[in-house]
Amino acid sequence: MASDPQSAANQRIVEDLVSRLRRRQLVGSRATALETLLVLRQVVSKARFSNIDQLVNIIRSVGRRLVDAQPKEHSVGNTVRKVLHHIREEYHTANEQPAVESSFSIAKFVLQGQPRKQATIPSSETRVPLKENDPDDPDSFARVLKPVLMEAIQDVFDELETVYDNISKNAKDHIHSDEIILTLGMSKTVDFFLKAAAHYRNYTVIVAETAPFYGGREMAKSLSSAGISTFLVPDSSIYALMSRVNKVILGAHAILANGGMFATSGSLLAATAARSYSTPVVVCAGQFKLTPLWNLYHEYGALDFGDPSAVLGFDEGDLVDKVDVVNPYYDYVRPELLDVFITNYGDHPPSSIYRLLKETYDDEDNEL
């Protein structure tokens, strides 16, 4: 940050977000993605640059700062990568060099002709020739490019805004009448998805309460208030009920490059149980959760542990000294246990996630 000739205000909003991320005052992948985008928009609008590399460096350094602040909120890094990708794309089109768009797109392939949202850039614009590193007017480059960049960021923004609707628009193709669906935890995406399907289908949802955070209770309340027949069950009965379940629908915290995912703790239990009954496991997740990372550290956990107080009260005096509590937020679910990801970019099997990643982000940004 120090190397950037930016205004103090710019630095302050970055610091503000950094501290909120560090203090976990801002949690949740979509919320963090939105906040990150707001900061990036501020930064880009204030930034002074005279060529594309400077701009990319500015964004990267801000991104690095944010990611370092909270490496466990993967959507921060994803958003930064996505913005970088779009900026490069805009730069290439503005420069009249058609972006190196491969003719084969996995998204198009799976969706069979459904046009990719960001794929075509309106070509009707009258272009002003871009001049990089103009010694007479160093700001000219920025002046020309900025409106386009802001538009690109706005696109990412719109995409985030509409992510739930886009995911749930195919809900009725996945859920059929009289099915029994199992889900767990509180996931906004799954919530929207199930409610969208309820317009067309009449089905039953079993929600595991997902101790110790009990997001499942919230979820069950929300679903039943939408008129869906809902059962709230303890986590321990997931396996016992699995024989009757037609489909497991889970939310994700992050989709990893190998097609596995981080999801709220308990997901691994549900996915494993589903595997032994060959019940399909469907994951609903926005595209901003695609993360070019692998789970290197733990076989089962996501290296993100909360405080023990949800499990063991601090007032338990004597026990606190003698008991070590491990309270992970997220499980790591291996790709073999998952059947399909439903994203706002269409439905994909775990095995083709790597391809989707390659199209969404630029390779050079994988390491910010």
Partner 1 sequence: MNMWPWTTSSQRTCFLFLLLSLMAPKSNAGKENLLADEAEVLQAVILADSFNKRFRPLTTRKPRCLLPICNAPLLDWTFESLALAGVQEIFVICRSHPEQIKAKIAESRWSKTGSGIKIVPILTAKETFSPGDAMRDIYTRGLVTGDFVLVMGDLVSNIRIDEVVKVHKERRKTNKDAIMTMVVKESGANHRTRSKADYAVFGLDSETFECLHYEPVMGYPPSTVASIPREILSAHPDIEIRNDFIDCAIDICSVEVPSLFQDNFDYLDIRRDFVHGVLTSDLLMKNIYCYVAKEGYAARVQDTKSYESISKDILSRWTFPLVPDNNHPAGHLYEHRRGNKYIDKDGTVILARTSTVGNKCLIGSSTKVSDNAQIISSVVGQNCFIGEGAIIDNSYIFDGTTVGPGCVIERSIIGFDVNIKENTRIDKGSLVGDDVIIGPNAHLEAFGRLSKKRGIDAVDDEDEEDEDDYADSEEEEVEAAQGTTTVNLGSESNAILWPQSAPDEDENDENVENAKNQRFMRLGDNASDLAFSDAGSESSDEESESSDDDSDFDKRLELPTSSSTSLDVPDGSSTDAIAESEFRNEVRLSLERAFTEGHSVDNAAVELKTLRMASNVPLSRVREAVVSAIVERIQIIDGGGVPQRQEIAHVVSRWGPLINKIGGVDPVETIAALQTHCASSKRLLLFGQILAALYQDDVVEESDIRKWHRSLASQSLGLSPGVRTDNMRKCWEIGSRMIQQFDEQDDSEDESQEDGGDAGNSKDGNEQDEDEDEDEDEDENSSSEDIENSSGED
Site for partner 1 in 271-310 (CB under 8 A): 297-298, 301, 303, 305-309
> Could you give phi then psi for residue 16, rounded to 5 degrees?
-60, -45
Q: Which CB atom, from 65 or from 86, has the smaller least distance to partner 1? A: 65
Q: Are 37 and 83 a contacting pair, CB within 8 Å?
A: yes
| Cα gap 50→48, rounded to integer Å | 7
Q: Which CB atom, from 38 or from 180, has the smaller least distance to partner 1? A: 38
- Residue span binding partner 1 (CB under 8 A) among the ranges 80-88, 92-100, 247-255, 315-323: 315-323
Q: Which CB atom, from 72 or from 247, has the smaller least distance to partner 1? A: 72
Per CB under 8 A, 265 contacts partner 1: no
Site for partner 1 in 29-48 (CB under 8 A): 42
Per-residue CA distances from 101 to 208, 249, 343, 350, 360 (Å): 44, 33, 21, 23, 12
Q: How far is the CB of 339 from partner 1 (least distance, A)?
A: 29
Neighbouring-strand partners of residue 204: 180, 229
Per CB under 8 A, 23 contacts partner 1: yes
| Cα gap 59→368, rounded to integer Å | 10
| Cα gap 124→76, rounded to integer Å | 33
Per CB under 8 A, 9 contacts partner 1: yes
Q: Which CB atom, from 72 or from 86, has the smaller least distance to partner 1? A: 72
Q: Measured in whole angstroms, how far is the alpha carbon of residue 44 from the centre of its chain?
A: 22
Q: How far is the CB of 360 from partner 1 (least distance, A)?
A: 27
Q: Measured in whole angstroms, how far is the alpha carbon of residue 56 from the centre of its chain?
A: 22
Number of residues that bind partner 1 (CB under 8 A): 37
* Residue ranges binding partner 1 (CB under 8 A): 8-9, 11-16, 19, 22-25, 42, 68, 70, 72, 297-298, 301, 303, 305-309, 314-318, 320-321, 324-327
